[in-house]
Amino acid sequence: MIDLSTKYLGLELSSPLVCSSSPMMQDIDNIRRMEDAGAAAVVLHSLFEEQITLESQDLDRNLFHGAESYAEATSYFPDMATYNIGPDAYLEHIRKAKAAVKIPVIASLNGISSGGWIGWAKRMEEAGADALELNTYFMPTDLDVSGSQLEEMYLELVRDVKRSVSIPVAVKLSSFFSSIPNFCASLDQIGADGLVLFNRFYQPDFDLEALEVVPRLELSSPQELLLRLHWIAVMYGRLNADMAVTGGVHGATDVVKSMMSGAKVAMMTSAVLHHGIDHIAAVRHELAQWLETHEYESIVQMQGSMSQRKVAEPAAFERANYMKVLRSGAWSHR
Amino acid sequence: MRPRVTLDGNEAAATVAYMASEVIAIYPITPASPMGELADKWAAQERPNIWGSVPRVVEMQSEGGAAGAVHGALQTGALTTTFTASQGLLLMIPNMYKIAGELTPAVIHIAARSLATHALSIFCDHSDVMSARGTGFGMLFGNSVQEAADMALVAHAATLEARVPFLNIFDGFRTSHEVNTVELPTADDVRALLDEARIQSHRARALRPEAPVIRGTAQNPDVFFQAREACNPYYAAAADIVQETMDRLAGRLGRSYRLFEYVGAPDAERVIVMMGSGAGAAEEAVERLVAEGEKVGLVKVRLFRPFSVKHLLAALPPTTKAISVLDRTKEPGAPGEPLYLDIVAGLARAFGEGAAPFASFPRIVGGRYGLSSKEFTPAMVKGVFDALNEDPAVHDFVIGIEDDVTKRSLSYDPTWSTENADTVRAVFFGLGSDGTVGANKNSVKIIGEDTDNNAQGYFVYDSKKSGSMTVSHLRFGPRPINSTYLIEQAGFVACHQFTFVERVDLLDRAAPGATFLLNSPFPKEEVWNHLPARMQRQILDKKITMHVIDADSLAQEVGMGRRINTIMQVCFFALSGVLPRDAAIERIKASIVKTYGKLGEAIVKMNINAVDQALSHLAEVDVSGAEVNGFVIPPLVGDDAPAFVRDVTSVMMDNAGDSLPVSAMPVDGTFPVGTTQFEKRNVTNEIPAWDADICIQCGKCVMVCPHAVIRAKVIAPEALADAPPTFKTTKPRWKGMTDQAYSLQVAPEDCTGCSLCVEVCPVKNKSEPRLRALNMVPQEPLRDSERENWNFFLKQPEVGRDLLDFQKVKDTQLLQPLFEFSGACAGCGETPYIKLVTQLFGDRMVVANATGCSSIYGGNLPTTPWTTNAKGRGPAWANSLFEDNAEFGIGMRLSIDKQTEYARELVQRLASDIGQELADAVLAADQSDEKGINAQRERVDALRAALADVETGPARDLKALADTLVKKSVWIIGGDGWAYDIGYGGLDHVLASGQDVNILVLDTEVYSNTGGQASKATPRAAVAKFAANGKPQAKKDLGMIAMAYGDVYVARIAMGADDKQTVKALLEAEAWPGPSLVIAYSHCIAHGYDLKDGLKQQDLAVKSGHWPLFRYNPMRNEAGENPFTLDSKAPSVPLKDYIYNETRYTMLVRSKPEAAKQLLDDASGDVSARWSKYAFLAGQTGTKAEGK
C-alpha cells in the first residue's frame, strides 16, 4: 500500500494535495466536494486587510452622506442594529467550513500593515481554523522604500500574528526578494511554521480602447513550477519551517517534483479551476500510480530527495548552472 | 429610578406609543416621520410591546390610507396608533370623525406643523391640529420632550377609559426634534397606567362573527340627531378622566400635570394662556417677572379638547384682571383664533352663571405668535404682558414680526433676556456634510446621560440640500432646560467652516467674554488678517477669546475626509470646560466605540486617532493689540438685481428674513422667478475646467449637470473681441456654424462640485488618459476669472432654436435651460431631466409640481430656480399638494384649453377687426415644431396690434387671452412617492382622461425628500426606512399599468444609459396629444453611493435588466405599427453587479446575509420575468403588419 500521507504545519494530512486559496472557497459546497475528491486540506479564500477597512469606511461614508444636512431628511437609511462587516462573515464561513468537512481548514489573511486588524487572526483561530496562511502580497511603488525596510515590515507583521495566535502560521510570499533564502531564514527564525512559495504576481493589463488599466488574471501554467522547485530545493533541510509549493502544480508529476524539491504539500488552484474539482481525484490517483510504478513506498520517502543538499550536482542550483544553460542553448528551444 | 436618557420628542412619544400598541399604520411626513421610522425599526428588531408581542407595523399609501387602516384595526379590536402632521392630519380627518363618532379608544401622535396656504412650510404651528378640533378627538398638548412622552402615556391610558380618542400633540421641530434629557416611562409604567379591564372592554366591542354587530349605518332625519347627542356623557366625563390619569401618572412617575396648569404669582393680575412649546419661554419670562415683583402668571393648556371650563376656572387666579390668549395659528376672517374664542366663551358662560371667581369680567385679548416656527422668546412674552397694560386693549395682535400693514404687531425689547447664569450656552455653525450636528447630538448625549447635568440640543438647517449650513444650539446646566427658543447670548461659538466668516454674522449671538472656536486654514498668527472687519470689531468689542484649529487638514490626515466632527467636538469640550478635559475625552472615546463599533474597527480607530490628535492642533489667537483692519463684506447682490431681489430676497439670503416686515411680502404667495442666479453660494472647493482642444462637443456634460452650471453656446466671432482674456472657445462641430466659436462655460460660483460632468465625458487625453475634456480643479484660483467669463458668456445671444435639430442630443444642449442653480443635492439625478424639459419646451410650459424634493429645490425660498429666457418667457410653476398633483395639472390643461377655445371663438367673431387672412392663419396654424410656434407667436403679436384700438368687450377678452392661441405644454412633475403611492388614484384618473398632459415621474425608488422611506417604486431587496429588512415585494410596474389604457404614451428612460432615447421619449411624449407618462430613473442620495457614479449606475440598471428602456407610442398604433418599442438590450450584467454598488442593497447583505441572498434571487427572478414580458410585447406585430 502506497503511503501518500504527509505532515504540514503539524497537521497530519492524508496526501500532499492541498487546495490553495481561491474564490472557489467562498462556497461551502465546493469545499465539501474538494474533500470528497481527495484534497487533504483547504486554504480558504483570503480575508483582505483592505476589505476590512474599506468596507467599514464605505459603509460609514455612504450611510452618513447627506445626513443631518436638511430638516426633512436628517438621515436616509434605517438604523440597523448590527452590520456583518467582511470579517464577521468570514469567521462565520470558517465555522461553516469546519462543520462541513473533516480535513484541516486553513484560513487566509491577506495584508501588509501591522495593526489592529491582526486581531482578526485571533478570531479566525477562535472560529476553528486549523492554521493560518498569511498572504503578504504587496506592490511597492514608493521610491523611498528599500527592500530591507519592506522585509522588516513583513517580519514585524509575522511576529505580531505569531504572538496573537497559537495555531500554526504559514507565510505566503512573492518571489520578488533579493535574497529569498535569507529572507525565508529570517521568517523561519521568528517562528513562521510554514513558507508557501510563491504568490503569483498579478500584472495589470491595458485596455487600449478605453485607455484604462484593467486587472487581468490568468491561470498558472506548469512552467511556473520550476521557480518554486528551485528555491525550495535550495532551502530544504536548512530551515525548520515546512515549505509548500503553490503555482504551477497541475498534474501528478508536478506534485512529485514538488515533494522531491522538499515541499511538504503541493497546492493547486488553476488546474482545479480549469478542469473542475474532480481533477483532484485524478491527480491523487495518478500520484499513487506514479509512486507505485517507480517503486516508492511513501511521499515522505521522496521529500527533499532532489534538494540541493541531496543531489549529485548541487551546482545545478547555482550560478554554474546558469552558465551551463547559456552554453547549451537550452533557452533557444523554448 | 428610571434611566435618564437624551432623545428627541419624536422618540419620546414613539417609545410610549409603540409599547401601548398592537397595530401601527404609518406614512412619512415631516416632522412626524421619525416616529413611524422608529416604530418600523423596532418592529424589525422584534422589540415587543407591553404584552410581549411585536406590534404589526404597516406603511400605507397616504395618511388617508393610514387613517383608514387605523379605523379598521380599531374596529376589529387591536389597540392601534399612527403618527402624522400637517396635510397628513387633514387627510385623516374623515376617518377621525368616524373613529370618534364610534367612541373608539385610539391615539394619534402629532408633531404639529403649519398647513400649506400661501406657501408650504415644514415648520411648526397649530394650524393642522386646530383643523381637527371638530372631529371629536380629545387634544392633549405636551410642551416639552418630557411631556411628549408623558402626555402620550396619559392619552393612551385615558382614551381607554373615556372612549374618546386623543391626539397627542407636541410642536414640530421645536419639540419633535429637540434633544433633551428626560426620564422615559418604562414598560411597567405603561402597563400600570393602561387599565386591563378597559382593554378587554375595547376588545369586547370588536367586530367578530361570533357576536356580530353592525356599525356605520346610514341614518335619517328621524334619529341621526338624537344618536349624535348620545355620546355627550362620554365627553362630559373625559376631562376628569384625563386629570385622574395625570394624577395616576404623577403618583407613579413623580411628575404632576394639570389640565390647565398655572404658574406665576398667586395674586396675578395679568395672565397669559397658551399651549405648546412656547409655554417654556413664557414660563421663564413669568418666573423672572414675578421675581421682579410683577403680578403676572401663565396658564399652560394641556387638554384643549374636550375643553373644560371648570378646570380653566380652577387654574386662573381670582385676582386676574387681564388675560392675553396666544394662539399659534391663524384663522382668517374669524373673530379670534380658536383658543382665544374658547377662553372667551368659557369665561363668559361662567360669569353669566355666576361661577367665575373674578370680581369683574377680565379684559381678554387674543393674538398670534410663532407661525411656521417663528421664534418665540421670553422678551416677546414680556411684550405681551406689557401690552396688557395698554389702554385701549390691543386685540388681534401679532408678536414676533413687524406688521406694518395692518399695524397688529406688539413691540418688545429683544434684548430682555432670562437666560440663567448657570447654564452653558453654545452655538455651532457647520455644514451638513461635516458632521457638526451629529457631533453635537453626541455631546448632548454625553453630558445628559453621563453627568448630573441636563442637556438640550436644537438644530437649525437651511433651505438647500447641497452645501447647507447647520446651526446647533446647545444648552447644559444643573436645572431642567425648558428654554424653547434659540440661544441669543452664547458663551461659546464655534464656526466649523471658514467660509462662513464672510457669509454669516457668526458673533452676533456671542455674549461678552465668549469663547470663539474657528476651523481655519490659517494659523493663529495669520488668521486675524483674513477676518472681515465686522468680525474683528465684535471680537475686540465683546472681548472674545479666539481659538483656531485647521480641522480640515487634520481630518484629511487621519482619513476622515470632510468630517471634522470628532475633532471639533474635542475642541469644544476642551475649551468650554463643561467637563474636566480628561473625563470628556474618555467619554468621547467611549461614545465613539458605541456609535461606530458596529461599522468596524477601522472607523473607531480613525475617530479615536482624531480625538488624540485634536488638542495638539488647537491654538489660542493673541488679539491683544490687534486692530480692525479686515475687509468689508461686499453686498450679497449687485445694484443690477431687480428691486424685489435687492430689497427682500437678499435679506432672506443674508439670514435676516426675520427682520422683513409684512409689507415686504407678496399678499398671495406669488414670487418672481429666476432668483437663484443672484445667490452665489460657492459651496465647492473644486469645479470642472474645460480642455477645448480635445472636447468633441457632444453636450453630455451640459445635459447631465444637475445645477445647469455648464452651458454651451455658439458665439459670433466678432463678439469675442470683448471677451475676457481667459475666455475659451474652439471651432464648432456643427455644419453651417464652423465659422463661429463654440464655448463651454462653467458657472464657478454655482457649481456644487458633483463631478458628474467629468464622469460622463467620453473623451480622454491621449497623452494622459486620466484627463478628460473636463477635469476638476480647485475653484478658488479660478473664481474671479471664471466669474468674468461666465458673465460674458451669459451676455452672448442664444443659438436660434429653429437652427437646431431637437432629435440630436448635442443640439438640444445648445438650448437655454430655464431651470438653474437649484438647491438640489450635489449630483442630483432628478434635476437633469427637469432641466432638459425646460430646454425643449420651457418657454411655453406650465408646471404642476407635486410636493417632494422637486417642489423643495424648485420652490423653497429664498431663491428659486425656474427662470426665463431673454424674451421674458419661461416655465410658469406651481405646487399644490403632495396627493393631488395629477388633478392639479389636469385642471391647468382644462383651463388653458377652455381659454384657447374661447379665444379661437373670439378670433372667428372678430375676424373683420383682425383681418380675415390673419384670423384664418391663426386658426389654421401648424404648431408642431419650433418654426410653427414662432410663426404663431408673431401672428398673436399682429392680432394684438390689430385689436389695439378696438375697445369692445370681446376684443378686450381676446387681447387678454390671445397668448393661449400659442400651444402650451402642461407638465405634471413629481416623484415616485406621489406617482406610485399617495397620488396614484388621481394619476390613474388623469391617465384615463385623454387630456393632453405630460407627466414626468422622477423615480428615485424611495421617498427622498422625507429621508428615504420605501414607496411602491422601491425595488425588491432594497433597504429603506419602513422596509428595514429589505423590501419583500417587487417594484410596481407603473409603465405597464399605464400602457393598459392603450391611448397613453408611456416611456421609461434613464439618461445615463441612453441620452438619445431620453430626448426622443420626451419629444414624443410632448407631441402626443393625449396623456403621456415618462418614468425617469433618477439616482439619489438615498441610494447610498458617491453620486458622481450616478450615470454608471443608471447604465448598469439598464444593462442588468432592472430598468429596461421602452417607449409605448399610441401614435404608432394609429399607424398600424406595434406601439411598444424596447429600447434596451437583453440583460447582460448580473443584477448583483448593479445593485451591490449601492448601500441600500449592501446594508442588507451586511446585516442579514441570508435574507439578502433570498431577496437577490427573487429580484433576479423579477428581472427575468419582466424582460420576458417586455420582449414578448416588443415582438408583437402591429395591426398593419397583420394586414388588418
Residues of A in contact with B433 (CB under 8 A): 65-66, 69
Is A113 exposed, middle or buried (CB count within 10 Å of its CB: 0-12, 13-18, 19+)? middle
CATH superfamily, domain A6-309, is Aldolase class I (3.20.20.70)
B804-829: pLDDT as tens digits: 999 999 999 999 999 999 999 999 99
For the four alpha carbons of A186, A188, A190 and A193, in that order, the dihedral sign comes to positive
Domain residue spans of chain A: 6-309
- B113 in active site: yes
DSSP designation for B772 = B
∠ CA A26-A31-A36 to the nearest 5 degrees? 165
CB of B1147 less than 8 A from some CB of A: yes
Question: B427-466 b/e with 16+ CB inside 10 Å = b?
Answer: bbbbbbbbbbbbbbbbbbbbbbbbbebbbbbbbbbbbbbb
Cβ–Cβ under 8 Å, residues B465 and B825:
yes
Give the best residue of B594, B1143, B1146 to mutate against chain A (max A CB count within 10 A).
B1143
Q: What pLDDT was estimated at residue A331?
A: 47
CB of B600 less than 8 A from some CB of A: yes
Average pLDDT over residues B1070-1092: 97
Cα–Cα dist B1114/B1050, whole Å: 9
C-alpha cell read off for B380:
416677546
Closest chain B residue by Cα to residue A78:
B1025
Cβ within 8 Å, pair B468-A58: no
Residues of A with CB under 8 A from a CB of B: 52-53, 55-85, 87, 89, 116-117, 119, 211-212
Cα–Cα dist B356/B316, whole Å: 10
* pLDDT in 10s for each residue of chain A, 334 residues: 789 999 999 999 999 999 998 888 989 999 999 999 999 999 999 888 777 778 888 888 888 888 888 899 989 998 887 777 767 788 999 999 999 999 999 999 987 776 656 788 899 999 999 999 998 877 778 899 899 998 998 999 999 999 999 999 999 998 888 999 999 999 999 999 999 999 877 778 899 988 888 877 778 888 899 999 999 999 999 999 999 999 999 999 999 999 999 999 999 999 999 999 999 999 999 999 999 999 999 999 999 999 988 887 777 777 666 666 666 654 444 3
Cell 419639540, residue? B175
> From residue B181, how far is each of A74, B8, B457 by CA, in Å?
20, 9, 10
Q: How far apart are the first and last CA of chain A?
A: 39
Cβ–Cβ under 8 Å, residues B593 and B604:
yes
DSSP designation for B962 = G
Phi/psi at B403 (5° precision): -95, 95
Per the DSSP assignment, residues forming a β-bridge with B26 are: B59
Per the DSSP assignment, residues forming a β-bridge with B1024 are: B1027
Mean pLDDT of chain B: 96
Cβ within 8 Å, pair A59-B1011: no
B281 pLDDT band, cuts 50/70/90, is very high
Tell me, what amino acid is at B910? L
Domains and CATH numbers, chain B: 4-209+223-252 (3.40.50.970), 258-399 (3.40.50.920), 424-621 (3.40.920.10), 681-815 (3.30.70.20), 898-965 (no CATH), 1005-1178 (3.40.50.970)
Cα–Cα dist A16/A39, whole Å: 8
Helix (H/G/I), strand (E/B), else coil: A184: helix
B180-190: pLDDT as tens digits: 999 999 999 99
Cβ–Cβ under 8 Å, residues B311 and B259:
yes
> From residue A158, how far is each of A17, A120, A153, A174, B202 by CA, in Å?
25, 14, 9, 15, 69
Hey, how many other C-beta atoms are within 10 angstroms of the C-beta on B952?
12
DSSP designation for A251 = S
Interface size A-B, in CB pairs within 8 Å, comes to 156
B363-411: pLDDT as tens digits: 999 999 999 999 999 999 999 999 999 999 999 999 999 999 999 999 9
Cell 463678439, residue? B719
Hey, how many other C-beta atoms are within 10 angstroms of the C-beta on B110?
32
Cα–Cα dist B998/B889, whole Å: 9
B1154 pLDDT band, cuts 50/70/90, is confident
User: Poorest-confidence range of A84-93, B33-42, B515-524, B1142-1151?
Assistant: A84-93
Element (H, E) at B840: helix B831-841
| Helix axes A49-64 and A86-100, enclosed angle (nearest 10) | 130
Q: Which of B1009, B1010, B1062, B1113 is catalytic?
A: B1009
- B30 in active site: yes
C-alpha cell read off for B773:
475634456
B872-892: pLDDT as tens digits: 999 999 999 999 999 999 999
∠ CA B941-B947-B949 to the nearest 5 degrees? 125
C-alpha cell read off for B15:
417609545
Tell me, what amino acid is at B450? D
Cα–Cα dist B464/A72, whole Å: 11
If you count them, how many residues does chain B have?
Answer: 1188
Helix (H/G/I), strand (E/B), else coil: B115: coil
DSSP designation for B747 = -
DSSP B1073-1103: SS-EEEEEE---GGG-S-GGGHHHHHHHHHH
B758-808: pLDDT as tens digits: 999 999 999 999 999 999 999 999 999 999 999 999 999 999 998 999 999
Cβ–Cβ under 8 Å, residues B839 and B812:
yes
Cβ–Cβ under 8 Å, residues B1054 and B1081:
yes
∠ CA B164-B168-B170 to the nearest 5 degrees? 155
Hey, how many other C-beta atoms are within 10 angstroms of the C-beta on B523?
12
Q: What pLDDT was estimated at residue A217?
A: 74
C-alpha cell read off for B457:
440640543
How close B978 gets to chain A, by Cα (Å)?
Answer: 16
Cα–Cα dist B588/B797, whole Å: 58
Q: Which of B41, B1023, B1151 is facing A84, going by the closest CB pair?
A: B1151
Closest chain B residue by Cα to residue A210:
B764
B566 pLDDT band, cuts 50/70/90, is very high
Q: Which of B113, B288, B711, B1116 is catalytic?
A: B113
The interface predicted TM-score (ipTM) is 0.90
Nearest partner of B83 among B188, B162, B185, B155, judged by Cα: B155
CB of B568 less than 8 A from some CB of A: no
Question: A10-46 b/e with 16+ CB inside 10 Å = b?
Answer: ebebbbbbbbbbbebbeeeebbebbbebbbbbbbbbb
Residues 1024-1083 of B with CB under 8 A from A: 1024-1025, 1027-1028
DSSP designation for B317 = -
